[in-house]
C-alpha cells in the first residue's frame, strides 16, 4: 500500500512540476502573461484618456521599409517602426523567454547570450523583407528568416553558444497562444454558415485524403512525415504543422521539411492566385474565400486578398481565422489516431486516455483560452471592440510576429540539408504536397462557389456588397 501511495504522490508531484517546467505549459504562461500585460496597459490608458489606446505601440515595433539604404528601416525619424521599437521588443522577449528558459532548467546567461544572436538574425530578416522591391513581390519575413538560418547552419554551422536559444517550438507555441487573441468568435459570425463550410468541411476531407494518398498510394515510409505535411497543407501551414508534429511525435527534420515546402508554395500561391482569380472573372467574395481556405499562412492570405480588393481581404482573412480554430481540434484527433491506431500497429501498445492527454499539445489550451477571453471582452465589455483592437494592433500582434520570426530563424539554424535529403528520397514528399494542394484548390473552390454563389449568395451583403 505504501508503495502505491508513494507512486501516486510522485505522479502528482511530476504533474505539478510539468505545469511549470514543460515547454507547452511555459508557452501558455508566457503567452498568457504577455496578453494580460498588454491588455492591462490598454485598459489603464483608456481609463485615463477616455479612448482605449496602447501606450506600448511606440515601444514595440519592427523595421520599416527602405529603398537603397537598409539603415532607413531602423533610424529614419518619425517612423513608428524605429530602433526604439526594436529595443522594446528585444527587452520584452528576452525577459519573457528568459524566465521560461529558466523554468525549463536552462542557464539564464547562456540563453540570453544566444538569444541576442537569434534576435539579430530575426531583425536582419525583417530588414530584408522591408526592401521596397521585395515588398512588392510579397516575399515576407518568414521566408527570409528561414533562409538566413539555413545559410548559417549549412555553411559555417550554428555556433555552440547560440544553440541554447534555438528554441523553435517554444517561440512558435508562445506565438500561437497569442494568436488566439486574434481569433474572435464574434467576427467569425460575419460569414456564418458558408464560411464554416469552406473552412470546416473541406479541411478534414483534404487532411484525411492526403494522408491516405501518402500512405496507400505513395507508400511514404514515415507516417508522421505524411501527417505533418498533410496538416500543414490542409489546415493553416506552420501553426498546424507544429501542433500536429507534437501530437504524432514527428522528428525535427520532418517538421523542417514540411515547413520549408509550405513557405515555398505559399509565396507562389500568394502571387499567382490573385492573378488567376482575376483571369477567371471570379467575384471578390468567391476569390477571397478560395484563397482563405487554401493559402497556408495568415499573413500571406491577407496580402493576396489585398491584391484583389478590400472585400476579398475581409473574406479571405475571416475564412482563414475560422480555419485557424481547427488547429486544436486537429491536434487532438491526431493524438487520438496516433495512440489508438498507428502506434498500436507498429509497437503493439495499448491505447490509453492518459497517453492521449500526454501527447496532446497543451499550448493549444492557451490558444483556445485566449480566443474565448478576448471574444468575451469584444462582445460583452463596454468599449470591448476598441479595447481588443488597441491591444492586438498596439502590441500583441507585433510581439506574435516577432516570435514567429524567431521560430523561423531557429528552424533554419537547426536544419541540415544532409539530414533532410533522406526524407526527399524519390521525391515523394514533394509529390504528396503538390497532389494534396491541387486537390485542396479544386474542392475548396467548388465549396466556396456552392456556398457563396448558390446556397448563401446573401452572405456577401454582410461585407458591404
How far CA 92 is from CA of 85, 96, 127, 374, 457, in Å, comes to 11, 6, 20, 22, 46
pLDDT for the residue 273: 92
d(CA 55, CA 292): 32
Dump pLDDT digits (tens) for 295-333: 987 767 877 887 788 788 778 888 887 888 888 888 889
Q: Which three cell numbers stand for residue 243?
A: 501542433
Per-domain residue ranges for the chain?
A: 15-463
Dump pLDDT digits (tens) for 213-261: 999 999 998 999 999 999 998 987 778 888 898 888 888 888 888 888 8
Dump pLDDT digits (tens) for 117-138: 999 999 999 999 889 888 877 6
Compute the mean pLDDT over every residue in the chain, rounded to the nearest whole number: 84
Check if the beta carbon of residue 25 is closer than 8 Å to that of residue 170.
no
Burial class (CB in 10 A: 0-12, 13-18, 19+), 417: exposed
Dump pLDDT digits (tens) for 13-24: 445 566 777 888
Q: Which residues contact 333 (CB under 8 A, 6 or more apart)?
A: none
pLDDT for the residue 187: 67
pLDDT for the residue 12: 42
Measured in residues, the chain has a length of 465
Dump pLDDT digits (tens) for 339-356: 888 877 665 555 566 766
Check if the beta carbon of residue 406 is closer than 8 Å to that of residue 118.
yes
pLDDT for the residue 4: 43
pLDDT for the residue 9: 39
pLDDT for the residue 262: 84
131 phi and psi angles, rounded to 5 deg: -65, 135
SS3 category, 223: helix
Q: How many CA atoms lie within 13 A of 182 on its CB side?
A: 23
Amino acid at each position: 500500500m505504501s508503495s502505491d501511495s508513494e507512486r501516486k504522490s510522485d505522479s502528482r508531484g511530476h504533474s505539478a512540476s510539468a505545469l511549470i517546467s514543460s515547454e507547452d505549459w511555459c508557452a501558455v504562461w508566457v503567452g498568457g502573461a504577455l496578453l494580460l500585460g498588454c491588455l492591462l496597459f490598454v485598459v489603464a490608458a483608456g481609463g485615463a484618456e477616455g479612448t482605449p489606446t496602447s501606450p506600448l505601440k511606440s515601444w514595440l515595433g519592427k523595421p520599416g521599409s527602405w529603398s537603397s539604404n537598409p539603415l532607413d528601416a531602423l533610424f529614419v525619424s518619425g517612423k513608428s517602426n524605429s530602433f526604439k521599437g526594436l529595443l522594446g521588443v528585444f527587452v520584452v522577449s528576452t525577459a519573457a523567454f528568459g524566465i521560461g528558459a529558466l523554468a525549463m532548467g536552462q542557464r539564464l546567461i547562456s540563453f540570453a547570450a544566444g538569444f541576442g544572436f537569434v534576435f539579430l538574425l530575426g531583425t536582419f530578416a525583417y530588414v530584408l523583407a522591408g526592401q521596397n522591391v521585395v515588398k512588392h513581390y510579397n516575399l515576407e519575413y518568414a521566408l527570409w528568416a528561414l533562409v538566413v538560418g539555413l545559410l548559417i547552419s549549412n555553411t559555417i554551422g550554428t555556433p555552440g553558444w547560440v544553440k541554447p536559444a534555438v528554441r523553435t517550438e517554444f517561440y512558435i507555441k508562445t506565438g500561437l497562444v497569442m494568436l488566439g487573441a486574434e481569433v474572435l468568435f464574434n467576427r467569425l459570425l460575419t460569414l456564418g454558415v458558408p464560411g464554416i463550410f469552406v473552412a470546416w468541411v473541406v479541411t478534414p476531407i483534404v487532411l484525411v485524403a492526403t494522408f491516405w494518398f501518402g500512405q496507400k498510394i505513395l507508400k511514404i515510409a514515415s507516417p508522421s512525415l505524411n501527417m505533418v505535411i498533410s496538416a500543414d497543407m490542409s489546415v493553416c501551414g506552420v501553426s498546424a504543422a507544429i501542433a500536429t508534429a507534437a501530437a504524432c511525435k514527428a522528428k525535427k527534420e520532418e517538421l523542417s521539411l514540411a515547413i520549408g515546402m509550405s513557405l515555398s508554395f505559399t509565396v507562389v500561391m500568394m502571387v499567382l492566385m490573385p492573378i488567376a482569380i482575376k483571369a477567371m472573372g471570379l467575384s471578390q467574395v468567391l476569390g477571397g474565400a478560395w484563397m482563405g481556405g487554401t493559402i497556408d499562412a495568415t499573413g500571406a492570405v491577407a496580402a493576396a486578398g489585398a491584391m484583389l480588393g478590400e472585400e476579398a481581404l475581409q473574406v479571405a482573412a475571416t475564412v482563414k481565422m475560422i480555419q485557424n480554430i481547427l488547429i486544436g481540434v486537429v491536434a487532438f484527433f491526431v493524438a487520438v489516431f496516433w495512440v489508438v491506431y498507428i502506434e498500436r500497429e507498429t509497437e503493439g501498445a495499448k491505447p490509453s486516455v492518459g497517453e492521449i492527454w500526454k501527447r496532446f499539445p497543451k499550448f493549444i489550451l492557451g490558444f483556445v483560452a485566449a480566443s474565448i477571453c478576448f471574444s468575451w471582452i469584444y462582445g460583452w465589455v463596454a468599449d470591448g471592440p476598441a479595447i481588443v483592437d488597441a491591444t492586438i494592433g498596439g502590441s500583441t500582434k507585433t510581439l506574435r510576429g516577432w516570435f514567429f520570426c524567431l521560430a523561423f530563424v531557429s528552424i533554419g539554424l537547426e536544419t541540415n540539408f544532409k539530414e533532410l535529403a533522406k526524407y526527399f528520397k524519390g521525391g515523394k514528399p514533394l509529390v504528396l504536397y503538390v497532389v494534396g494542394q491541387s486537390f485542396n484548390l479544386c474542392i475548396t473552390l467548388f465549396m466556396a462557389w456552392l456556398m457563396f454563389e448558390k446556397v448563401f449568395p446573401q452572405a456577401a451583403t454582410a461585407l458591404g456588397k
